[in-house]
Structure 1
Amino acid sequence: MIKNPELLKQFEDSFIKDEGRLPFDKSIKLFASMWNEGVKLGVLPPKDPLEGIEVDIKIAKVLNSCLKKSSQE
């Protein structure tokens, strides 16, 4: 859980400014490492991967309708 989002934002901005964006291969390695850490901690994979899917679908419908309305204007 992120306790100080402003500090994280500053770190991300500084990192991107100094290092540039991560190449795809490094991003995949980072993701795989974080996934493995989650597995070791017992929080990944989720017990029920479809838990909360209804909310995600409702949000997607709202966002898609907004996109359609804005493209018609």
Structure 2
Amino acid sequence: MMRIPHEFSIAGIYLPPLLVASILGLIAAVTTAWLLDRYRLSRFFIHPPLVLCGLSVIYTILIGSIFIGI
């Protein structure tokens, strides 16, 4: 049986797993949005900031469910 982490300790500061997943999801979404802008693929979206928000939610859910086990 896998042990689900209750909190992460980073430099002596305890962080909840959902906060860590959301930070990693936001970093992944910003990177994806930067790549979409770099290769001019964001012009196909009506509202690119909304795409960034959606990507951050999707990445947060994926990272939280796969790596952290929320």
TM-score interval (norm. to shorter) = 0.3 to 0.5
> Which structure is richer in relative contact order (CA contacts within 8 A, separation 6 or more)?
2
**Whose strand proportion is higher, 1 or 2?**
2
**Whose helix proportion is higher, 1 or 2?**
1
Q: How does the TM-score come out when normalised to structure 2?
A: 0.34
